[in-house]
Amino acid sequence: MMIDYPQDATPLDHDEIVGLKILHITTREELNRFEQDNINEAMQWLVTRHKSDILTEKFIKTLHNKMFGKVWRWAGSFRRSGKNIGVDWMQIPVHIHSLLADVRYWVDRHTYPHNEIAVRFHHKLVWIHPFPNGNGRHARLMTDIFMKTVLKQKPFSWDNENIDINTRARSKYIAALKKADTGDYSTLMDFVQSNSKTF
């Protein structure tokens, strides 16, 4: 299959493409559609699931599996290959553990305002880049679930546009993440709370 990736998406290596469960997919558009259907099922599952602690490695993996498990064999498993972004793959569990501990600490000690805790959580999760693909969509949903269940507040608007594909919102989102890579979260804070449709 030929996959043309959107800007700053993670390309899959050969072994990962072999993990495609639906063999008749031939285009990126078809793949997107199957993934989106799978994500919609995950949203249904979220409503009915047994409410457990979400700040765990187990939940992070379960959510990824629910979102992509019908499409990819490696869904719900941390990556075993290097990517253009992300930590060394052998260090993923360690980084995830320290992120989860940090987030708990920030919540308990009120280290940052709630929105900033959620933004820092989101950025660090995509920065670690735990999965072969789907990291952006997974980390955005994970952040929304975190805001609802732990912070007890409304999730972000994420600019109310489809940032999975090449849009102006996506360019703004990626630029804001790159700035956050340098420790400056201000642009990402603005982005997640903005709504271009109101302009």
Residue ranges binding ligand ATP (CB under 6 A)? 6, 8-10, 85, 126-127, 133-137, 139, 164, 174, 177-178, 181
Candidates 119, 133, 142, 158: give the one binding Mg ion (CB under 5 A): 133
Nearer to ligand ATP among residue 150 and residue 169 (C-beta): 169
Residue 190 contacts residue 26 (beta carbons within 8 Å): no
- Round to whole Å and give the CA distance between 64 and 138: 6
Q: How many residues does the chain have?
A: 199
Could you say which of Mg ion, ligand ATP, none residue 62 binds, taking C-beta under 5 to 8 angstroms by partner kind? none
Residues 8-27 that bind Mg ion (CB under 5 A): 9
Nearer to ligand ATP among residue 52 and residue 124 (C-beta): 124
Alpha carbon separation from 114 to 15, 49, 54, 156, 187 (Å, rounded): 40, 25, 17, 11, 16
CB of 26 to ligand ATP, least distance (A): 19
Q: Which SS3 state, helix, strand or coil, does residue 104 take?
A: helix
Contacts of 68 (CB under 8 A, 6+ apart): 35, 38, 39, 75, 76, 133, 134, 138
Q: How far apart are the first and last CA of the chain?
A: 39
Nearer to Mg ion among residue 131 and residue 191 (C-beta): 131
Q: Which two three-digit tokens encode residue 193?
A: 């709370």
Nearer to Mg ion among residue 62 and residue 133 (C-beta): 133
Residue whose C-beta lies closest to Mg ion = 9
Could you say which of Mg ion, ligand ATP, none residue 59 binds, taking C-beta under 5 to 8 angstroms by partner kind? none
CB of 63 to ligand ATP, least distance (A): 12
Nearer to ligand ATP among residue 4 and residue 108 (C-beta): 4
- Inter-axis angle of helices 28-48 and 57-68, nearest 10: 130
CB of 174 to Mg ion, least distance (A): 12
Nearer to Mg ion among residue 10 and residue 62 (C-beta): 10
- Round to whole Å and give the CA distance between 188 and 120: 9
CB of 110 to ligand ATP, least distance (A): 26
- Round to whole Å and give the CA distance between 139 and 121: 9
Residue whose C-beta lies closest to ligand ATP = 136
Question: Residues in the site for Mg ion, rule: CB under 5 A?
Answer: 9, 133
